[in-house]
Structure formats: C-alpha cells, structure tokens
Amino acid sequence: MCGITGIFHFDGDGNISLELLQKMTNILNHRGPDESGIYLDDLIGMGHARLSIVDLAGGTQPIHNEDETLWIIYNGEVFNYPELKEYLLEKGHKFYTTTDTEVILHLFEEQGFSCLEQLNGQFAIAIWDSAKQELFLARDRVGIRPLFYAKNNGSLLFASEIKSIFISDKVKRQLNYEALNHIFHFWTTLPGETVFQDVYELPPGHYLKISRNHFAITQYWDIPFYPTEEKLDWPAERICEQIHELLTDAIRMRLRADVPVGCYLSGGLDSSGVTTLVVNKFNSNARTFGIRFEEDGFDEGEHQKLMVSFLKTSHTELLATNERIGSSLADVLWHCEKPLLRTAPIPLFLLSEIVNKNNFKVVLTGEGADEVFGGYNIFREAKVRNFWAKQPDSKSRGLLVRRLYPYIFKNPRLRAMQQNFFATGLDQADDSLFSHDLRWQNTSKIRIFFSNEVQSAITIQADYEKMKQSLPATFSSWDYLEKAQYLEMTIFLSNYLLSSQGDRVAMAHSLEIRLPYLDYRLIDFMARIPSQWKIRGLKEKYILKKTFKGILPEQITNRQKHPYRAPIGKSLLNNKSIHVTQDMLSNQSLKKSGLFDAAKVNKLIQKLKTHDSQSEIDNMALVGILSTQIVHEQFIENFPSKPIALITPNLVIDRRLKNV
C-alpha cells in the first residue's frame, strides 16, 4: 500500500514547485516508507510514497506506458493482475516491471475508463494522459482506499490523506460545520464529504476526469440489488458451496504478495473463518494477531485462545489497556483526520504497530462480513420493528426486542422506557431510512453540546432529503434487509469502518489490510441470495455460519455475536489521560475553538466522573467533543505541528518545458 498526491494546474503555467510536491509526498511517508517518486510537467505534478509489496526491486512509481504518454501513481492492490496481464500480453503490450501498477496502466490504455470493471481489488488511482492533457482519478468499489481532492484558484490538489493537501498554503483550513453535524448525527460524514470546508472525498465506485475545461465525476459501480425474479432459488447446501468457493478464491488472490501475509484473529466468526481457510488451504504456518482488553465486557480472549489452539498458529496478542487507549487518541486522530464517536479505532492502531514490529506489511481481516451476510443487530432490529409495525399495539411482538438486547433490558425499572424507545417511529416503517433512523435520532441528542454559532449553521432535514434522493430508483421496492444493508455499506462501512477503523489506523504503521469478504464477486453473489438465508428467524449471518459448520469449532459458529468495541469513559477519564481530557475541554480551550457550549460540556464531565454507570450516549458525546477539539487543534490551529523533512525522491521525472 502507498500514498499518492498531486497538483493539477488548469492554466498550465508550468510553475508547480518540486519542493512543495516533495513535502506533500513526505507527509505521507507512513503510508509508503520504502521509497518515493515524482512526476512533473507544465500542467501536473504527482508524488508517490511506496510501501513495496509486489516487485520489491523494480516497482518504483510513477510508472509509464511504452511511449511514455501515460503515467500512473497508485495506492492499492489489484489482486487479479496476473490474469489481466496475460490478456494484455496477447494484445501486444510490453511491460518493464512485474507490478500490478503497470497492469492497470496498460489496461487503461487498452479499455479506457471501463477498465475499472475488470479490477478486483482495493485502490486509489491517478493516471495522467500527457497527450490528451487529461487526469483520471478513481477509487475502488466499496472505498477501502481513500482519495481526497480540493479545487483552489485554478488548481486541483489530490491526495491519499487530507494533510497532504493542507501542505499547500493556498488551501484554507476550516471546519465544515454541516459535516461535523453529520458525524454527531449519522456517526460519520456522508459520502463525498469531509469535516473540512471545500475538501472532498471521491466516493467509492466513482472516477473523476479532469482537463483544462472539464471536471466530471462518474459512478461506475454501486451496491448491487436483484429483484425477486432474479434471486437464486437454491437450497442452502448449494449456496454454502458457492460461498465457500468464492471466499476461498478471494483469499487465494489476497495472499498474492512478495512479502509475508498475516491474519487478524479476534475469536469472532468472521476472522476465524478467514484464518481457518488460510491455514487449511494455503499456509499452515500462518501468523496471527489479536487484541485483548482488560475489561471482560470488551475482551474476546477466551475464543481467541480457542482458535489459536485449534489452528496451532503462531499468535501475538496486544493488551489494549484503558490507559494506552486514552493516551493514543491524539495520534489516532492525526491519521483519521475526522472526529470520532468511538474509541474502537485506537486498539487497531496499537495492533498495527505490533504487526509492523513483527516485520509484516500485509494482513487479512474479517471486515465486511457483517454488512454482506447480515450480521449486525441493526439489521435484526429492523426485521423486528418492521414485523412489530404491522401490529404496533401487540405486546408479544415488542418483546422480541429483548431477545436482541437482553443486556440492556436487565433493569426492570428501565424496561418500559426501553420498550417505548424501540417502538418509536413504527408508523414510519415505509420510510426509506426506517432501519437507521432510530439509531440516528438517538445519536443526534449529543448535538445539544454544539455552541450557538455551530447550531445556527447546521440543518438536518435537508440532509435526509438529499440522502433519500441519492438512493437507487428502485429502493422503495427492496425488502427491509436490503435497504438496511445498502445504508450501512454506503454510509457507515465506507466512511467509518474502512477508513477510521481500517485503512487510516493500519497505514499509520505502514500496514496494508486486505478484506476477502469485500471481494465484489462475493458481494454480488450475496445480493442474489434471499434475505431469509442471511437472517433466519433472529439468527444473524445464518448462511455464513452454515458454510463454516464443520470447519470451525461449534463454540465459534454457535456463539452470539460480540460487537467489537473499546472502553470510552474509563479510557479518557483515567488517572493518566484525564489531564489531557480536561485541558482540551477546559473553558479556555472550548472558547478558543468556539465549537461547543462550555457549561454543558462541564456538566457532562462532572456527570461522567461521579457516576459509575455511564450511558452510551454520554460516552459518545465525550469522545465526540474531545476528538473534535483535538482535530481542530491539529489541523486548524497548529498545522503542521512538526516541520516536514525534505527526503530526496528515488525517482524524479521532470518534463516541464522550462527544463528542456
């Protein structure tokens, strides 16, 4: 995996600074510490920081085609590149490296923009056509790899991370209050947005074409949907066989590398399934890595140890103590570049450091299985509430919610209140956003902490309407699970799980994650499978568990889902971290940023410090406010906090006319 960056001048004055481009590239050094390269001509400058995984000796970027009219910089992996290369060789293309990068370039030369449909991988691509004077930017189908851009004074700047764009003093650094509001409502920014004003993210499954007189974003892929008549009427056994075949092939392709590939192993179904297939079919000596917590409510150590013993892997575990989580928040936010409502990314940040120290650059992970196979409680909740909405006065139907969340219904005094909470909005079951609206409305309570200035600048109803208008034309005809899966994948998966909890915390320590469950062939196949096989009764991921039956221990396939979470209050208010928390949330700091109401924040802190029982909403408010303050300090007030060293690139291609 790598980091890419660039500047495109619409007026073509040939005045792109090599030093600026070096700084923009060097600030991404954590993404690609092995080497760097730069391309310059009168219209464009492109920089690349490389994490070498394929063709270690000969894959220096930028890479060109035979006549040097096309140039590419690239962050990602295309796993089916050997098969694509065979096709291109038959077409007469000549190669000077053995990289997947060069394969992409020749495929683009052969097929143009439609080449994206052939790529099975995770990528952010920049290709410069010097003959046509046209820039092509593209991002993978589900958004595993990031790509940001900003237009400013006749220029377009793009990069794998926003901090690279901010190196240019022509780009103003301001928070986008509307996007900040989205985080405090939808849990994350909406597709295409960032928390910074006038800085955008190319949405997943889209490409951007830019020339002097042209700027257009085009969607080339979307989460698939198949109507009832196109669903597969297969018996469960046949479905399981196909899942096993597709997942095995996805893993086979994702093990392609010229460096060792490890596995994350939590003890949950998803990572256990991937690791088991790796050990059984490809590498019996697989290295595994996992996270442990000091609090039982978060720890999966028992099941993690079971899988390590079952597979006999060489395993390394990280103990993510509350103190380490709290003390690492600022470092994580520097890489995530957006406020968080959870501390869950922090242990993964700490784990990637351990993996890096063990000399691994690549790991397979289990992310994506919940979205594709129907594993989240929010999906089961949508099923129950849709069923309940048909007879909203029924007490027996309402009791089904207790089976989803038995741990929050233990308190008899709170049962009626909790029952009423889940009954809210049952009359809106036909609404497109029904599955997620209850969660969003609950989270939106923390927006009361915004200052008057922020409150006056934000709206929410228009965002709901905008979101509805962006949905596929046939969305209203989809069933409850298909709607919920689409919302989860287009909003939460790509904008939080694959970024803040995925690419950003892994690449902070030069680690590439690969996600077999998000192979587009598996996503497409599961879109053809009726929802009844995904959630059977109230059993989540039914068909995936059935696929792994006999492969995994029954204690793994039969266990109730354990959501991955990390402590918040005890991490941010313990003896070691509380001083930083109190400093960032002091009246002086809050007044300086102007983002939050100091009196309300002070009451929240006192409440959390004095009450042993802390609500989820209060905890989310704490980490949301604190992380926003830190992001503001890091990127608005004090950027960059350290000088950017000028590292001499390994390769510089300078084709500016003034240098000819």
3-state secondary structure 304-368: HHHHHHHHCCEEEEEEECHHHHHHCHHHHHHHHCCCCCCCCHHHHHHHHHHHHHCCCCEEECCCC
Residue spans of the domains in the chain: they are: 2-221, 235-367+498-557, 377-481, 569-637
CA 397-402-403 angle, to 5 degrees, is 95
Task: Show Cβ contacts of residue 60 under 8 Å, excluding neighbours closer than 6 positions.
Answer: 35, 37, 50, 650, 651
- Please check whether residue 1 is in contact with residue 161, taking contact to mean a CB–CB distance below 8 angstroms: no
**Banded model confidence at residue 641, pLDDT cuts 50, 70, 90:** confident
Q: In what order do the strands lie in the sheet with 121-129?
A: 63-64, 70-78, 121-129, 134-139, 206-211, 214-219
Asked if pLDDT for residue 659 goes beyond 60, the answer is no
Give pLDDT tens digits for 154-195: 899 999 999 999 999 989 999 999 999 999 999 999 999 999
For residues 37-58, b (16+ Cβ closer than 10 Å) or e, as one string?
Answer: bbbbbbbbbbbbbbbbbbeeee
Give pLDDT tens digits for 549-570: 999 999 999 998 888 999 999 9
In this prediction, residues 278-283 reach a mean pLDDT of 97
Architecture of the domain delimited by 2-221: 4-Layer Sandwich (3.60)
Asked if pLDDT for residue 79 goes beyond 60, the answer is yes
In this prediction, residues 371-386 reach a mean pLDDT of 95
Give pLDDT tens digits for 601-627: 999 999 998 877 678 999 999 999 999
In this prediction, residues 593-605 reach a mean pLDDT of 97
pLDDT score recorded for residue 660: 42
pLDDT score recorded for residue 402: 80
In this prediction, residues 298-312 reach a mean pLDDT of 96
Which has the higher per-residue pLDDT, 642 or 30?
30
In this prediction, residues 466-475 reach a mean pLDDT of 93
Distance CA 268, CA 265 (A): 8
Asked if pLDDT for residue 27 goes beyond 90, the answer is yes
In this prediction, residues 230-237 reach a mean pLDDT of 98
Average pLDDT, the chain: 94
pLDDT score recorded for residue 656: 85
Distance CA 84, CA 106 (A): 10
pLDDT score recorded for residue 621: 97
Domain 235-367+498-557 indexed as CATH 3.40.50.620:
yes
